[in-house]
Amino acid sequence: MPTNEQAQACLRLCQMLSSGFQPIHLFRYNPETQTVYVLAGVTEGIEVIVDPNGKWRFADE
Give yes or no for residue 30 having a pLDDT over 90: yes
The structure's pTM equals 0.90
pLDDT level of residue 44 (50, 70, 90 thresholds):
confident
H/E stretch holding 30 reads strand 24-30
Give Cα 24 to chain centroid, integer Å.
Answer: 9
Would you place residue 16 in the very low, low, confident or very high pLDDT band (cuts 50, 70, 90)? very high
CA atoms within 13 A on the CB side of 22: 18
Number of structural domains found in the chain: 1
The confidence score (pLDDT) of residue 61 equals 75
Residues facing 57 on adjacent strands:
49
With a cut of 80, say whether residue 20 has pLDDT above it. yes
Q: Give the residues across from 37 on adjacent strands.
A: 28, 49
Residue range(s) defining the domain that contains residue 47: 4-58
Contact between 39 and 23 under an 8 Å Cβ cutoff? The reply is no
Whether 7 and 53 have beta carbons less than 8 Å apart is answered as no
Average pLDDT, the chain: 95
